[in-house]
Amino acid sequence: MTGASTTDRGLPNATVARLPLYLRALTQLRATGSATCSSDQLAEATGVSSANVRKDLSHLGSHGTRGVGYDVAHLQAEIAQAIGQTQEWNVVLVGAGHLGKALAAYPGFASRGSRIVAVVDADPKRLGEQVVDGLVIESADDLDEIVRDRAVSIAILATPTHAAQDVADRLVAAGVTSILNFAPVALRVPDGVDVRQVDVAAELQILAYHEQRKSSPREEAVSG
């Protein structure tokens, strides 16, 4: 079976996770003036195999031209449509510590479909502080109002670990249905709410595992 039933428009998760990469690559290609590109070029630019690129794009029902490749502008528009980049998504950022401020200042969101419309923090001492042009730290008590008034559906959680679950509960109660969580804790959320986890220390631990294997002596042919 194909991983998505005939009646729903759903793409395989693995494909969805790669669409942003293709979009990035296409934007670059477009800037260089290329009108078309092959699956090999996209593979080169994204680190995905070319067969995998073609399979992914075929899930979009996309139309490349045999012998030629894909029309860059057209494919870009198709992917943008598929992942909802035809609109901007309003995001609330919770937690204005070092990481929160760094994320608030990150210039890469706007060009990729997301806009941080509020930064909130629980610490009264931080209220009113300007983190970046047009963004002033607001009170976490106003989350409900902010989420509703500014049509927020996505939140970034950059709070201390101990506060994360509580904040998540309040975000969900206020109507947020997607959370990007930087706190190293598994959030419990109701069905219908998506959580994606970014755990930098865990990433390093995964790398450490492979490092350890690289340096340990080869052990082959145990029995033959």
Residues that bind DNA (CB under 7 A): 1-3, 12-15, 37-40, 49-52, 54-55, 57-58, 62-70
Nearest CA-CA partner of 126 in 101, 161, 147, 96: 96
For residue 108, the partner it binds in a copy of itself, DNA, none, with Cβ less than 5 to 8 A by kind, is a copy of itself
Amino acid residing at 85: Q
Where are the extended beta strands (E) located within 122-213?
Answer: 130-132, 135-139, 154-157, 178-181, 194-197
Alpha-carbon distance 163 to 161, whole Å?
5
Amino acid residing at 163: A
Amino acid residing at 216: S
Q: 99 labelled as ligand-binding?
A: yes
Q: 97 labelled as ligand-binding?
A: yes
- Least Å from the CB of residue 70 to a copy of itself: 18
User: Which residues of the chain form contacts with a copy of itself (CB under 8 A)?
Assistant: 6-11, 16-17, 19-21, 23-24, 45-47, 82-85, 89, 91, 97-99, 101-103, 105-106, 108-109, 112-114, 153-154, 156, 177-180, 184, 186-187, 192, 194, 196, 198-214, 219-222
For residue 64, the partner it binds in a copy of itself, DNA, none, with Cβ less than 5 to 8 A by kind, is DNA
Q: Which is nearer to a copy of itself, 66 or 162 (CB)?
A: 162
- Least Å from the CB of residue 109 to a copy of itself: 6
Over the Cα atoms of the chain, what is R_g? 21
Alpha-carbon distance 185 to 218, whole Å?
36
Q: β-pairing, 194-197 with 130-132?
A: unpaired
Q: Which is nearer to DNA, 133 or 209 (CB)?
A: 209
CA-to-CA dists, residue 126 to 100, 132, 137, angstroms: 12, 14, 7
For residue 14, the partner it binds in a copy of itself, DNA, none, with Cβ less than 5 to 8 A by kind, is DNA
Per the annotation, binding residues for NAD(+) are 95-100
